[in-house]
Amino acid sequence: GAVVSQHPSRVICKSGTSVKIECRSLDFQATTMFWYRQFPKQSLMLMATSNEGSKATYEQGVEKDKFLINHASLTLSTLTVTSAHPEDSSFYICSAPRQGGVNTEAFFGQGTRLTVV
């Protein structure tokens, strides 16, 4: 099946620094990828839709200047958390839809546990 790889799996950073998270589709091309955030004991919340070759679409309440998304190629999307604060500590997960067809399923990356100290 399709594979999505996310890196790093775990990162600890200091307040005020920036962190980049990569999401790669390994055996298929993904013109669209999705970034989710999950706080403890809560569900996944969509943050933004990453579109190859164009600007990302952000969900309401998500600061686009803080969470920078770049979809540079058909297999890579990056999320950069800028000027991180402890409240940004969360589990970040990317996903990419399976190619083709009407009924699509999402393939998820392994997730990135971000801890801001």
**Would you say 83 or 104 has its CB closer to other proteins?**
104
**Would you say 62 or 82 has its CB closer to other proteins?**
62
Binding status of residue 116 toward other proteins by CB under 8 A: no
Size of the site for other proteins (CB under 8 A): 24
- Among positions 59-88, residues that touch other proteins (CB under 8 A) are none
The amino acid at residue 95 is S
Q: How far apart are CA 56 and CA 48, in angstroms?
A: 7
* Strand duo 90-97 + 112-116: pairing: antiparallel
**Would you say 42 or 73 has its CB closer to other proteins?**
42
Residue 29 near residue 77 (C-beta atoms within 8 A): no
**Would you say 82 or 110 has its CB closer to other proteins?**
110
Minimum CB separation of residue 83 from other proteins in Å reads: 26
Considering only 11, 46, 68, 76, the residue that binds other proteins (CB under 8 A) is 46
Binding status of residue 54 toward other proteins by CB under 8 A: no
The full DSSP string for 31-81 is: SEEEEEEE-TTS--EEEEEEETTS--EEPTT--TTTEEEEEEETTEEEEEE
